[in-house]
Amino acid sequence: MAAVAEGASLSGAIERFLRYLRDERSYSASTVEHYAHALAQLDAFAEQRGLGRWRDLRADQAQALLAEQHRRKGYAPATLRGIASAWRSFFRWLAREGEIEANPAIGLRSPKVKRKLPQVLDADEMAQLVEVPGDDPDAVRDRALLELLYSSGLRVAELCNMRWRDLDASDGTLRVTGKGNKTRIVPVGAKALDALRALREQDACGDADPLVRGRRGAPLTPNGVRARLKKRAQEQGVWKRVYPHLLRHSCASHLLESSGDLRAVQELLGHADIGTTQIYTHLDFQHLAKVYDAAHPRAKRRGSAGDG
């Protein structure tokens, strides 16, 4: 009977962990769903092996299961890394709860992900995009959301959750609640502040109202923002695929190009790991190469007349 009770607690531990992510860590519903999917596979594996407790799962078994996802189900490297990360987090939580002594997923190896370099708009393309003409309500609103996304490097979910009370117009700052319910303060540029002032005058909003609203007064949804950006890009003659994260990428790239301050850009974007921010360093490589060629005494190549 004891073994049955322990076996039944395997899925129970997963449910408690998911509640912890949702209620204590304030993870989004989609993130919790990702964890649930990854852990359901682990739960099924443990049941097939007749494991009575999570502490009975060995590291080689966890590695074999991950390899099976790659071999038999054809999961991409990025998906496998996400699954392995979910397993590690779950076992870390079990260790804190005193249910296991060692994390069997800590040494999991998954195929390396070839990181795609982010696309960006250059400064001229950004100016062309954000300078939306007109004073009608949609133009005023769209100008404000475009300027703010680019000015402060916001994620689309962060923008949609904004309230007017989060903006300190006199100080030129914005309080942002990002991933994991973490709060950061970011600067807001002069152009974005002007656009936001025009938006507030138009809407006569209170402090508790959404910063960016749809036509019926509800917060504009992420899909609504994406649709607005696509429409404005076409109207403004920007013929690249324009989406909210492209403006975030562009903000980060332009700041890094001008300042070279990786830590400041990390803080602005709210990246927990500076390695995530470092992907933007490649974007200024061509500029760096030109400076190097022009300035370094050993960089210039001799012309044919001088060779010999």
Q: Which residues are catalytic?
A: 155, 179, 245, 248, 271, 280
Tell me how far apart the alpha carbons of residues 246 and 213 are, in angstroms, rounded to a whole number: 21
Which of these, 104, 267, 253, lies nearest to 187 by C-alpha position? 267
Residue-wise over 247-284: b if at least 16 C-beta within 10 A, else e? bbbbbbbbbbbeeeebeebbebbbbeeeeebebbeebb
Q: Give me the torsion for CA of 261, 264, 270, 274, rounded to 10°.
A: 40
Residue found under tokens 């992420």: 222
Half-sphere exposure in the Cβ direction for 210 (13 Å, CA) = 17
Contact partners, residue 66, CB within 8 Å, separation at least 6: 80, 83, 84, 108, 109, 110
- Kindly report the number of other CB atoms within 10 A of residue 167's CB atom: 22
